Chain A
Amino acid sequence: MSRYSRHIILSEIGQAGQDKLSKAKVLVVGAGGLGCPILQYLAAAGVGTLGIIDFDVVEISNLQRQVLFGTKSLGKNKALAAKKRLEDLNDDISITAYPEKLTHTNAIALFNEYNIIVDGSDNFETRYLVNDACIITNKPLVFGAIFKFEGQVSVFNYKNGPSYRCLFPNPPEKGTVPNCSDIGVLGVLPGIIGSMQANEVLKIILGIGTVLSGKLLCFNALTLQNTTLKIPRSETEIIKVLAEKENFNKKQIDFNCEIESIEVSIKDLITKENIQFIDVRELDEQPKVNGLAVTCIPLSDLENNLDKIDLEKKKAIFCQFGIRSKNAVLKLKNLNINNCYSIKEGASEIIKYINIDIAM
């Protein structure tokens, strides 16, 4: 019995369909909650060439839903860890991992290597970039996105169908739409939505069924209600993206999808749990902040002390005047250490607040 016998005995697929799958080249953007089930089913189905792009590393809080990873993957790049698992699942296929961020600079050349692009990303910045690059390279985009117990699925840019911008022309205002890491998500939800995306990919490759183009499927895991909304194509939106074609790789990301600003006040933080306080002043600087568990890592030596940073906690970073702490947040961000906030107030004001808090 061959690996694909259960496909081949289906009259709708057969050996000819299986050959189509083995010739297909699919790029999955993001190997997270959606990316894991998408990749798992596409690899198992024998999609011949799979690309995985993700800059992020596996954290323990990912394991609740990101089913390709185990405790041994912790701290490893997601694209590389996913490739390793998938090569064990199916050694017939070719898998390329790109352990980097998708940008305006690398997107076009990368998308040109593949026939179908699947969006499993987790932020609007990437989602609009993927959409626009798909319009420019003329690739179908299998879209999926989730919020708590609800999901959205569609196929954009397929045979002159609408794009994501025909539905939502512009990214929402900064901070108005939270993501999974801020508000939580039911673990099985990305499994359901990602599997629907994998299903659309297989239908496109095999040429069977009705592709979910021109429609957005809205799924609610709590009620199991499906609503399908028709989306008309907007030529204006498509033309706007195509007009940017020549400048695309020079384009800077002109909107910010960060949920919170990197600066916070101690007043907003002090009552919250699960925070690591980091003092980035030199070790001999005064006053010391007592009454709080503080990790001391001077900014000058930050890169050599990354192991002291707790990836599972929010990091509240402070110094004397809130300037070095801001630099520290930016440095950590560049090292892909997120959830870091700079406390506006300096050490002496922090001490005052702690004392007020204790007195109350």
Chain B
Amino acid sequence: MNISIKYFGQLAEVTQKEEESFEFSKHSVSDLVESIFVKYPDLKNKDFKVAQNNELVSADAKITGAEIALLPPFAGG
């Protein structure tokens, strides 16, 4: 399945892109995160949450949608 992934904030600095499409054949959010870590090992040191089709999901959620976003926390003010 082909999914689109958006990277926000510090994550986009690691991936050097804000968006990309990703070929993915497994099931859960944690599987997807593992595959992303293979491509970008430096993301392992970053804190982030995963949203699917614009809704925050937990690690065990099933990948059903085509749009994934990885969201880090911001501290600045």
Residues of A within 8 A of B (CB): 30, 32-35, 119-124, 127, 144-148, 150-152, 167-168, 171-173, 176-180, 185, 190, 216, 218, 220, 223, 227-232, 257
> Which residue of A has the minimal Cβ distance to B53?
A230
Residues of B near A32 (CB, < 8 A) are: 77
On whether the beta carbons of A124 and B75 are closer than 8 Å, the reply is yes
Count A/B pairs, Cβ under 8 Å. 88
Q: How far is the CA of A314 from the CA of B41 in the complex (A)?
A: 32
- State the CA gap A227–B74 with chains docked (Å): 15
Q: Name 19 A/B residue pairs within 8 A (Cβ), A-sorted.
A: A33-B76, A119-B77, A120-B77, A122-B76, A123-B75, A124-B75, A145-B77, A147-B10, A147-B75, A148-B9, A167-B56, A171-B73, A172-B73, A176-B45, A177-B73, A177-B74, A178-B10, A229-B69, A230-B54
Bitwise, B46-77 to A at CB < 8 A (1) or not (0) is 11010100111000000000000101111111
Q: Is the CB of A229 within 8 A of B51?
A: yes
Beyond A124-B73, A171-B73, A220-B18, 18 extra complex contacts between A and B, CB < 8 Å: A33-B76, A120-B77, A122-B76, A123-B75, A144-B77, A145-B76, A147-B10, A150-B9, A177-B10, A179-B76, A180-B77, A190-B77, A229-B54, A229-B55, A229-B71, A230-B51, A231-B56, A232-B55
Contacts A145-B74, A145-B77 given; does A232 touch B45 at CB 8 Å: no
Interface residues on B, range: 20 to 34
Residues of B with C-beta under 8 A to A228:
54
B22 within 8 A of A: no
Which residue from B18, B54, B76 sits with its C-beta under 8 Å from A180?
B76
Residue in B18, B51, B55, B77 whose beta carbon sits within 8 Å of that of A30 in the complex: B77
- The answer to whether A152 and B77 have CB atoms under 8 Å apart is no
Q: Which of B47, B51, B55, B76 contacts A147 (CB 8 A)?
A: B76
List, in ascending order, chain B residues with CB within 8 A of A147's CB. 9-10, 72, 74-76
CA distance A148 to B75 in the complex (A): 11
- B46 surroundings in chain A (CB, below 8 A): 176
For the complex, what is the distance from the CA of A231 to the CA of B51, rounded to whole Å? 9
